[in-house]
Every structure is written in C-alpha cells, then in structure tokens.
Amino acid sequence: MNSVPLAEEMRPQTLHEVIGQSHLLADGEILKQIVARKEPVSLILWGPPGTGKTTLARIIASEVNADFVELSAVTAGKKDVLKVVEHARQNWNLGVRTILFVDEIHRFNKAQQDAFLPHVESGLITLIGATTENPSFEIISPLLSRSRVLVLQPLAKIEIIEVIKRALKHLKQTKNVTPKALDYLAELSGGDARVALGNLELALSLGEKVTPEIVKVAAQKRVPGYDKKGDMHYDVISAFIKSMRGSDVTATLYYLSRMIDAGEDPKFIARRMVIFASEDIGLAGNGALALASATFQAIERVGLPEGNYSLYHCATALARSPKSREIANLMFGAKELAKRYPDSRVPLHLRNAPTKLMKDLGYGKNYEWKANFKHAKGFLPDDITI
C-alpha cells in the first residue's frame, strides 16, 4: 500500500504540469518569465488552501537551480531563520542561490520577519512566502516593498475535474468513477485541489465503483472556507451588506446562510443589520431600525437555531425595503460642518435665559416656544455660511 498521500504523489514537478493560475503562468506572465530568465525574485503567494502555493515555490527553486529551504511559520522561530541565513552564506560562497520558502508567513511576528529582512535586501536570500491572509495586514511594510505579491485563485470546477482525471489516469482507475461522482468531487472541493484528491483517495478505498453516494460518505460535510478573523469573514459580510443594499433577497439570504453555516456569531450579523437599517434605509423606512433592533434583542434572548427565523425575517425585510442614503449624507455633512466651525458661538437668541441679566443681554430674544417656530435670525452661528 502506498503511504504517500495522493495529493503529494500528484504534486506537479514543472510549470507545464500545473493546472490553473493561468494569470501567473501563461506566456509572458510573471512566473513564466522568472523561470525563463532564471532570475528569482522575492514573492508573497497569497491565496486559499490547495491552490498551489507550495508547489509553485518548489518548482521555481528547481527551475532556477536554487537551493530550496522550507520553513513553517507555525513551528519555526527566530533561531531557525538565523540557521537558514548561515546556510545561505555557505551557499553564497559556493555560488548557489538560496530560496527560503516560509509557509503561513503571516504567523511570523514582526521580530521574526525583521530577522530575514536585511538578508532579503542584500540578495543573500530570495524569500517566497505563502499566506492565506491579506499580506497588507500581516506582512511588515519593508518586506512587502521588496517582494511581489501574487494572488492565487481557487481552482475552477473544470480545473478540479482535470486534476481528478489526471490522478485517475495515474492510478489506472479512470473507469472506476462515474461521471456524476467526478462532478460531485469537484463540487465539494471548493476550488481546493488537495481536498479533491483527498476525497478521491478515500472514496476509491470504500468501493470498487465510486458513485455520488460513496463520495458523500468519503467527504462527509465540507467545512466552509471561512475564518472569523480572516479575509473571508470580511468578504462575505461585505457581500451580505451589498446584496441587501441592492435589494437582492436571494443573494442576501445566500450570504447569510454561509455565515451561519460557518459558525459566525449571530449577534455580529444582527449588529450589522442594525447599522444597515439607519445607514442604507433610514428615512425611507423608519420601521427598519425598530425591526433590526428587535432582531438583535431576539438573538440575545433566544439564540440559535430558533433565532434563525428572526435573522432571515429581518434580512429579507431589509433587502426588500426602499433605500435612502439621506441619513448618512446628513450625518457626514453635519460632521464636516462641525469640524470646520468647532468653536462658533451659539447665537444669543438660542441661549437659555434663566436670569434677568441674561434676558437684558439678549439671551433668548424674540424666541417663542411654538411648534415649527422659525426665528428671524435662524439657528446656525452667524459665521457659518452654507
């Protein structure tokens, strides 16, 4: 029995074998040029799991004849980085380039990243970092400025199918997976080639003929690619808000379902809807704020799963409501005015006059307590012009 996981066994060894990422690998694109010129540059590979970050780093090192050193930021520390630096110096003396690949580089703290910065600057080390998190927030600016950030995309369904077919051909089992099972494997992968191959490997071990039912047993329930502190968290809530703003109920409830299935805090979702009720509906539907506030209260008191009804009720109502940015515009306009005139004196006729002296000085002069009373001198300080 082969002890090497299928995903590792099928890892591409050359750029020609890589499936997907054509925006980086097509003729004239950056990775093709790096390999063709055999001149490596420091890179930050940013993308979700299973998109080929490690594979591309290894191929680049092989193609440019560099010594490939791999570290995981999960387990490595500053001492490990310094060992790599010393190893790189030895390579330098021998005329050999060193490529340091740091997996999950976002887990290195500032001090750890600072440790190899001067050696990247000097060219002693060519750094290739892999991250699933936004480099703008996780990688120190000096390191970012000396690296090219390349964004890797989840593989398309058709590309995942190609990955699976290649593996089946390698295993000589092309006839053992039904077309529907093949499609289902690709669907469940979420664009992650490693997940697809892992599910395929297990499915093949469960029966002679792989059907959608066998795939379902092998895959169980795919964990949504959603990190409550990562980019996906912000991307999905952003899509949820924009879908409500665009009055698209189907899209609104789709993103809501994704957040709930991923275990998002329902109070976070409800809180965003409270904000939306005033920010995007406001005066066009004054009842929206009351509904959103009641939903937040219901989630606090009831929780999930029963609270789902309230979340879906509120999200649907907000998506269907007429929209208005008047409150937001008025708020920002008022804030800007207050910044421009922070010390303007309140007009005398608007000031309270509890004593005779104050009345004699003109406090509250000609002001009348009437509904919709319009004072002849208006209500803004004299020096404010609109």
How far apart CA 196 and CA 190 sit, in angstroms, is: 8
CB 275 within 8 A of CB 289: no
Tokens of 53: 């970050």
360-366 own/partner pairs: CB under 8 Å, 24+ apart: none
pLDDT value of position 63: 93
* DSSP per position, 318-330: HHHS----HHHHH
How far apart CA 271 and CA 263 sit, in angstroms, is: 16
CB 366 within 8 A of CB 347: no
How far apart CA 219 and CA 186 sit, in angstroms, is: 11
Rounding to the nearest 10 degrees, give the CA dihedral for residues 39, 48, 6, 184.
-140
Which domains does the chain carry? 21-151 (3.40.50.300), 157-219 (1.10.8.60), 231-320 (1.20.272.10), 345-386 (no CATH)
- DSSP class of residue 350 equals G
Instruction: Calculate the alpha carbon distances from 359 to 52, 280, 352, 362, 377 in Å.
Output: 79, 44, 9, 5, 17
CB 313 within 8 A of CB 296: no
Beta bridge partners of 150: 45
Instruction: Calculate the alpha carbon distances from 251 to 239, 274, 376 in Å.
Output: 8, 19, 51
Instruction: Calculate the alpha carbon distances from 8 to 3, 132, 158, 168, 201 in Å.
Output: 10, 20, 21, 14, 12
CB 288 within 8 A of CB 321: yes
For residue 64, which amino acid is it?
Answer: V
| Beta-carbon-side half-sphere exposure of residue 47 (alpha carbons within 13 Å) | 24
pLDDT tens digit string along 50-97? Answer: 899 999 999 999 999 999 999 998 888 778 888 999 999 999 999 999
How far apart CA 287 and CA 214 sit, in angstroms, is: 50
Cite the DSSP H helix spans in 94-139.
110-122, 135-138
How far apart CA 236 and CA 47 sit, in angstroms, is: 16
pLDDT value of position 9: 94
How far apart CA 374 and CA 350 sit, in angstroms, is: 11
> Can you list the residues of the chain whose pLDDT is less than 70?
1-2, 221-231
pLDDT value of position 368: 87
pLDDT value of position 226: 59
| Beta-carbon-side half-sphere exposure of residue 182 (alpha carbons within 13 Å) | 18
pLDDT tens digit string along 197-229? Answer: 999 999 999 988 999 999 988 887 555 555 555
